[in-house]
Amino acid sequence: MERNEFLRLLGTAGIAVCAGCSLESCSSSSDPAPSGNPGPSGIDFTLDLTAPANTALNSDGGFVYNSGVIVVCLSASLKVYTAVSQACTHQGTTIGFDAANGNFLCPAHGSRFSTNGAVVNGPAATSLRKFNTSLTGTNLRVFA
């Protein structure tokens, strides 16, 4: 390949990339982030707290993921649990629970949510969907 041909191809590739960027900036939304995440619907499942997969829920701050929901043990001695949608409402990243601070944390951009799903600080602007919990013996039901 000669130098002139290489430079022509390089220039054509650069134009194609720039054209793609220009088209993207013409989209109807300037923010690629979802405007909110209502969370999964039709949630109704039961977790056996004696099952090995769920043992984290027997300790303060322990959590598990199930069906698009993060379930957290807020107090093992008082048997208090909370459950919210596991996808951050900013860009859908899976959140975790920060036991030291007692809130949900998105590792991607630092959004924090209270234990009831409310935004503590952004960039997320929409709360996480909260689900009901009900403990009967060693069975924890999570439902909408």
* 69-100: pLDDT as tens digits: 999 999 999 999 999 999 999 999 999 999 99
Q: What is the pLDDT of residue 137?
A: 96
Residue 27 has pLDDT above 70, yes or no: no
Confidence band for 39, pLDDT divided at 50, 70 and 90: low
Q: How far, in Å, CA of 27 to CA of 60, rounded?
A: 45
Q: CB–CB of 124/87 below 8 Å?
A: no
The pLDDT value given to residue 42: 86
